[in-house]
Amino acid sequence: MISLDPAQWVRRPRRLSQPALRLFCLPYAGGDHTLFQRWPDLLPEAVRDHLEICPIQLPGRAHRIREYPLFTSMPMLINTLVPPTLAASPLAPWLDRPFAFFGASLGGLIAFELARALSTRHQLSPVALCVAACRAPHLPGPHPLEGMEHFSDEEVIEHVRALGGTPEYVLADARLLPVILPKLRADALLEATYAYVPDVALDCPITVCGGEQDVFVGLPELVAWQAHTYSTFRLQQFPGDHFFVRDAPARDRTLLLEQIVRACCKTCEQISADARPAPVQR
């Protein structure tokens, strides 16, 4: 059974009692909140004590490994997180502050749909939407887990091995397969069945980041995100492939976070202003 406990859905690797901004983060398909575990330490120093990193953890992985069913439908996932009554949302306790979204690959699509749902259903707009290694939602195209929902167990393992990044000891351990295979198939189906529904563009800035060697999402697919905002649009490419967010050295991850902070510039300018000591009265 799927828990609606907010603490299960939103992880807080470095808790702030009064953050000026919360950044909700969603990983690529098959990933979990640990992708963002060290991000608080990589934030620019000026905002480190004011911007809270809040990874969103889907069921069926990490500490939620025993929660079923897994989400295989984007509308079902979005309706769970953004129901008609906002107080019933697992995100509700964390929406009392300005917020932004970051999503990598499949996480970018989820972040986009969450931003749209909160805006249209509850008039809550993020201060920014940031995506990485994610083609614009209106464009069809291949994704890393293409067809995996139909693969045999052996084919899934070989496909994941070819993508790289998963330790060989994990793929070779038969005891771990019941843990990793269901979430990979569920995420593959979630992405394969995604159907973009045209709606008004977002009114927040969109920042898009891509890997220079990404064979799944090229520059045209990144540029196409510009059609989904009435506000400013920024594009930045980084060394690496589709999984550059995961594999990048700390320096490049710091640069990525600087781009995200820049996307939230108005809020972050206020953060910096609030952090400065008040002038001495003479």
53: three-class secondary structure by DSSP: strand
Q: What is the pTM of this model?
A: 0.91
Which member of 3, 17, 73, 105 is catalytic? 105
Condensed to tens digits (0 to 9), the pLDDT of residues 60-109 reads 988 898 888 899 999 999 999 999 999 999 999 999 999 999 999 999 99
pLDDT tops 80 at residue 272: no
CA-CA distance, 216 to 205, in Å (whole number)? 24
For the purposes of burial, counting CB atoms within 10 Å of the CB of 199, is it exposed (0-12), middle (13-18) or buried (19 or more)? exposed
Radius of gyration of the chain (CA): 19
CA-CA distance, 247 to 6, in Å (whole number)? 29
pLDDT score for 141: 79
Q: Is the distance from CB of 161 to CB of 171 less than 8 angstroms?
A: yes
For the chain, the first-to-last Cα distance in angstroms comes to 63
Phi, psi angle pair for 21, to nearest 5°: -155, 140
DSSP conformation class of 236 = E
CA-CA distance, 143 to 88, in Å (whole number)? 33
Residues 6+ apart with CB under 8 A from 169: none
pLDDT score for 277: 42
The stretch 214-226 carries a mean pLDDT of: 95
pLDDT score for 271: 55
Domains of the chain with bracketed CATH: 6-142+196-274 (3.40.50.1820)
Q: Could you tell me what percent of the chain has a pLDDT over 90?
A: 57
Mean pLDDT of the chain: 88
The stretch 166-175 carries a mean pLDDT of: 80
pLDDT score for 96: 94
272 is catalytic: no
Dihedral angle computed from the Cα positions of residues 29, 240, 225 and 113, in that order, rounded to the nearest 10 degrees: 20
